[in-house]
Amino acid sequence: MRAARLIKMVLLLQSRPSMTAAELARELEVSERTVQRDAQALSEAGVPVYADRGRAGGYRLVGGYRTRLTGLARSEAEALFLSGVPGALREMGLEDAASAARLKVSAALLPSLRDAPDSAAQRFHLDAPAWFREPRTPALLPALAAAVWDDLRVTARYRRGEDEVERVLEPYGLVLKAGVWYLCARVADGGSGRTHRTYRIDRFSAVDTLEERFTRDPDFDLPGHWAEQAERFARSVLRAEAVVRLSPQGVRMLRWAVDPVAAREALSGPAEPDGAGWVTVTLPVESEEVAHAQLTALGPEAEVLAPPGLRERFAADAARLAALYGRDDAAPPAADAG
């Protein structure tokens, strides 16, 4: 433990011109007294750590000293490529590996480039979870992440409807979509026709990592697999249709109100504008209830023509709105007290 701390202290001093005892104590999560003892130990071991006295003093390396302990471990190098998603790293249990990797890279940079990490961090940040949703980290995510890194099979139990199913899985990759974690895996005991499947990790009730390694399919492409699955899922839930008349503004707003797959299919047809510039499209929808909620966002820029039940919903909405906004006895806004 102390050896790792001493190495980190050298790397910190190598990446910066000078650091105070308080700064080192904060980075190393120890007391300033421990920093002093560690500096003394490094000096006795031949590392030229020099302490400047006074208010502006601090610790620094002298003589252009460079450690050779900056080679990246495999896990650190892999984590480095994910360092733009700090929350995801933390949830997968890779935060320490990424921190060590960034520190080693900083120590290896030329002095003129040492502000690059801070410069990049102030210009780019990825916040993966969706708005208005409390992100929840699945308890079993770190175990699955470790199995993914090491190509280890797992025995997993997960909820499927009212039942619980157990499978031996070959975990290929993890996907974070709008704050929800998914596992792309292959069923290990599925026979010669094994296919890759996608599981929501928060539906796993237990995961046991086995000692058996699996051989990855070299043709498997995680981004391509996810895109295909997402498209297939979107199409699978669009089981009904609605005929909608859209104004030019409604056409522009449609892609923000409904699923992108549904909007793309609806607008891909050769619909011709009528005399008022409106177009009639056939929109794939999940259900009348979902379509009602989504198309309400278009307001007067859309008219539902079919099915009759959905049109009746909007007719009832229009009548209620007319009653609300057409009242002559509506109370005027209260005047400011000031």
Mean pLDDT, residues 46-58 taken together: 79
Nearest Cα to 101, choosing from 149, 127, 69?
69
Residue 173 pairs in a beta bridge with 184
| CB crowding 171-203: b at 16 or more within 10 Å, else e | bbbbbbeebbbbbbbbebeeeeeeebbbbebbe
pLDDT for res 235 = 78
Token pair of 122 as six digits: 């102030």
Please give the share of the chain, as a percent, with pLDDT higher than 90.
30
Give 118's pLDDT tier (boundaries 50, 70, 90): low
Mean pLDDT, residues 297-321 taken together: 95
Whether the CB-CB separation of 154 and 148 falls below 8 Å is answered with no
pLDDT for res 111 = 63
pLDDT for res 226 = 87
pLDDT for res 232 = 82
Mean pLDDT, residues 115-126 taken together: 56
Whether the CB-CB separation of 46 and 34 falls below 8 Å is answered with no
pLDDT for res 284 = 92
Q: What is the mean pLDDT of the chain?
A: 81
Mean pLDDT, residues 207-228 taken together: 89
152-160 and 163-177 strand pairing: antiparallel
pLDDT for res 149 = 87
Mean pLDDT, residues 26-55 taken together: 85
pLDDT for res 51 = 85
Residue 208: pLDDT over 90: yes
pLDDT for res 159 = 87
The lowest-confidence range among 185-189, 214-218, 305-309 is 185-189
Give 123's pLDDT tier (boundaries 50, 70, 90): low
Residue 334: pLDDT over 90: no
Mean pLDDT, residues 273-286 taken together: 92
Residue 96: pLDDT over 60: yes
pTM: predicted TM-score of the whole model, two decimal places: 0.54
| pLDDT single digits (tens) 234-256 | 778 888 999 999 999 999 999 99
Mean pLDDT, residues 210-232 taken together: 88
Residue 81: pLDDT over 60: no
Token pair of 303 as six digits: 């008219």
